[in-house]
């Protein structure tokens, strides 16, 4: 069953290739959606795919890129909306 998740990541997650690495991981997991830097220093990810693959993305997001230091993750599950064709960085 395909689902949607919103992940909000706090910590040292901007300027450390977090979004670029998120795209790589999401594409490995066959997910669609986007990653975006927020004005408050957090990174927001919206992803759609199978629950199993989304769980793998969550597990990865808790560590992030090699230079990142993740302090906190907030999750919100939703029904899949099917609006994405790929996984991209949003500016």
Query: For the domain that residue 33 is a member of, what is the CATH number?
Result: 3.30.70.100
pLDDT at 1 over 90: no
Mean pLDDT taken over the chain = 97
Q: Active site residue: 4, 19, 21, 53, which one?
A: 19
Q: Is there a catalytic annotation at residue 2?
A: no
85 domain residue, yes or no:
no
Number of domains in the chain: 1
| Catalytic member of 37, 40, 53, 80 | 37
pLDDT at 36 over 90: yes
Count CB atoms within 10 A of the CB of residue 86: 11
Whether 38 is in a domain gets the answer yes
Average pLDDT over residues 3-28: 97
Is residue 62 assigned to a domain? yes
Range of the domain at 25: 2-80
- Residue 63 in any domain: the answer is yes
Structure tokens at 50: 């199978």
- pLDDT score, position 89: 97
Q: How confident is the model at residue 29 (pLDDT cuts 50, 70, 90)?
A: very high
Secondary structure tally for the chain: helices H, strands E: 2, 5
| pLDDT above 90 (res 11) | yes
Q: Verify whether residue 19 is a known catalytic residue.
A: yes
Task: Specify which residues 70 forms β-bridges with.
Answer: 11
Q: What is the mean pLDDT of residues 61-90?
A: 96
Whether 81 and 43 have beta carbons less than 8 Å apart is answered as no
């Amino acid at each position: 069953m395909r689902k949607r998740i919103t992940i909000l990541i706090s910590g040292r997650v901007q300027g450390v290739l977090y979004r670029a690495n998120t795209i790589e991981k999401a594409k490995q997991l066959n997910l669609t959606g986007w990653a975006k830097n927020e004005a408050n220093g957090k990174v927001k990810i919206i992803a759609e795919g199978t629950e199993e693959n989304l769980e793998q993305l969550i597990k990865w997001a808790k560590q992030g890129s090699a230079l990142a230091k993740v302090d906190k993750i907030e999750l919100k599950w939703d029904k899949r909306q099917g609006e994405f064709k790929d996984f991209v960085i949003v500016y």
